[in-house]
Amino acid sequence: MLICAVVVPAISGLSRANADDASVAAGPVRFEGYPDAPEVFVVPRKDELFFYPCDQCHAAMEANPEIRKLDTAHHAEIDHGRGRIWCLSCHDLENRNFLKTLLDEPVDFDEAYIVCGGCHSSQHKDWVFGAHGKRVAAWQGERTQYNCAHCHDPHDPAIEARAPEPGPRARAGLELKTGTMHEASPVWGSHGTDSEK
């Protein structure tokens, strides 16, 4: 599935109460591949990258497309794609200040979610609709989300499993029923069977 994103100009007077103005893209993104998807502002991250712009070094280097082990100042080892991916799978060979799609179309670093979605379409769809990823501040109103690479290192994207946080406490006045399946499970996760209702 090819995923297209269109940056829509910001609507005048549109509030960005959920994030600082400096940390939000100029306009919301609308995904043409998902007609029911809401528009979303995506937090940019180019200004956070230590080695950006890439042409600071790469402008003086001859481009070498040969797949090889790198001797470099950054990310010599890539643990992404089970060995099927290397630098130029995602980075543009001729203009290192850009990423690229599977169709060799240039993509700005702040739109990395387009590149990620080329291979990770189900996670991308979940991100577009809000089931995957992190949202800035409130859950209602204008949506502002973090880019994929805010949470996942693109060169080693797997996130180690963590122990879940404890569940919420039951509200005062709610008591567990005894002698039913409710006794063994918390109030907030049990609905009983039809015969118990």
Q: Is residue 133 part of a domain?
A: yes
Q: Is residue 57 part of a domain?
A: yes
Q: Is the pLDDT of residue 39 over 50?
A: yes
Q: Is residue 42 part of a domain?
A: yes
Alpha carbon 150 to chain centroid distance?
7
Q: What is the pLDDT of residue 2?
A: 41
- Backbone φ and ψ for 153, nearest 5 degrees, come out as -70, 115
Single-letter code of the amino acid located at 89: S
Nearest to 45 by CA among 129, 126, 136: 136
pTM above 0.75, yes or no: no
Nearest to 149 by CA among 185, 111, 120: 111
Q: Mean of the pLDDT values across residues 20-47? A: 77
Total Cβ atoms within 10 A of residue 142: 20
Q: Is residue 68 part of a domain?
A: yes
Question: Is the pLDDT higher at 130 or at 194?
Answer: 130
Q: Mean of the pLDDT values across residues 72-80? A: 71
- The total number of structural domains in the chain stands at 1
Q: Is residue 162 part of a domain?
A: no
Residue 25's DSSP bridge partners are none
Q: Tell me the per-residue pLDDT of 96-113, one tens digit each, with 9 for 90 and over.
A: 899 999 999 999 999 999
Q: What is the pLDDT of residue 9?
A: 32
- The DSSP annotation for 87-156 comes to HHHHB-SS-TTEEE-TT--EEEGGGHHHHHHHH-HHHHHHHHHTSSS-BSS-SSSS-EEE-HHHHSBTTB
Q: What is the residue range of 84's domain?
A: 5-151
Q: Is the pLDDT of residue 20 over 60?
A: no
Residue 107's DSSP bridge partners are 99
Q: Is residue 136 part of a domain?
A: yes
Q: Is residue 192 part of a domain?
A: no
Report the sign of the C-alpha dihedral through residues 186, 189, 195, 197, in that order.
Answer: positive
What is the distance between the alpha carbons of residues 48 and 74, in angstroms, rounded to a whole number?
15
Q: Is residue 173 part of a domain?
A: no
Q: Tell me the per-residue pLDDT of 110-168, one tens digit each, with 9 for 90 and over.
A: 999 999 999 999 999 999 988 888 888 777 778 899 999 898 988 888 878 778 788 77
Contacts of 180 (CB under 8 A, 6+ apart): 192, 196
